[in-house]
Amino acid sequence: MPTVLALASESGITVNGPLVVTSFNLFGITFNLTESIIVQWIVILILLTVVLILTHNMKVVPETKRQVAAEWIVEFFTSTVDGTMGSKYTKYRPYFMALFCFIMLNNLMGLLGLRNPTADVSVTGAFAIITFCMVQYNKGKTGKFKGYMKSFVEPLPFMLPFNIIGEFANPLALTLRLFGNMVAGIVIGSLIYFALGNFAILIPAVASLYFDIFSAVMQAYIFIMLSMSYISSAECED
């Protein structure tokens, strides 16, 4: 699926698909290495570097500001996950902390002049599929096979098609919510630059502050909050 890049020029605004860096064939299937993939590798390297810096030479009692910052981040996500999902879901803390940081940095790549990978629906769809699988796993774990199958015909058997649709509606909503907001930010920012022309100084900067920073952080936070809500509520009775 295409990522979105809006280019403003004198002739108008052009929306292009993803930049394909290279392609290769494997078992008769053509795979494209796109800019979205490369930028995500960059994000992984950035996260790895930050984690190594923050956790280097840690002490039982914090002696450096970076250790204080690292502990504050862990405590924030600990309270967020426990408050949203409950104490029995403590094992999900590292995952949602990593997911938030990864999505947020992907959203912020536009500040470096790179494409936002989250403006690629295949990227946001991958995040949503992971949440979907975790929801199904939690339902199966709490209700076993019998409870899992029974959940599709509750409260009455005629609800079966609606319950099935509902299972797939949540990951679809997660995918399009994040994708749509990131694409909207790119398109609106390009429209502002194009409309103002030579006067594009202050207003685009303010718009960029909102769409590239505030919206990027908020959309990452909303994504993990919805994911936590879907997973914790997916419990079945055996």
- Which tens digit of pLDDT belongs to each residue from 105-124? 999 888 787 888 998 889 99
The Cα angle at residue 166 between residues 165 and 169, in degrees rounded to 5? 85
Q: Which two tokens stand for residue 141?
A: 């774990």
pLDDT of residue 2: 41
Q: What is the DSSP letter of 121?
A: H
**What number of CA atoms fall less than 13 Å from residue 164's CA on the CB side?**
6
pLDDT of residue 87: 83
d(CA 43, CA 115): 12
pTM over 0.85: no
Tens digits of residue pLDDT in 3-13? 444 444 445 55
Taking 60 as the threshold, does the pLDDT of residue 202 lie above it? no
pLDDT of residue 29: 81
pLDDT of residue 205: 59
pLDDT of residue 9: 47
pLDDT of residue 198: 59
Segment 110-139 shows an average pLDDT of: 89
Confidence of residue 203 (pLDDT cuts 50, 70, 90): low
Q: Which two tokens stand for residue 212?
A: 């590239």
3 within 8 A of 117, measured Cβ to Cβ: yes
Taking the CA atoms of 231, 109, 32 and 189 in sequence, report the sign of the dihedral they define: positive
Q: Which two tokens stand for residue 9?
A: 């020029």
Which residues, in sequence order, are CB contacts of 148 under 8 Å at separation 6+?
139, 140, 236
d(CA 147, CA 139): 8
DSSP bridge pairs for 120: 3
Percent of the chain with pLDDT over 90: 34
Identify the three-state secondary structure at position 19. Answer: coil
Confidence of residue 103 (pLDDT cuts 50, 70, 90): very high
Angle between helices 35-55 and 121-150 (to 10 degrees): 80
136 within 8 A of 96, measured Cβ to Cβ: no
CA 67 to chain centre: 26
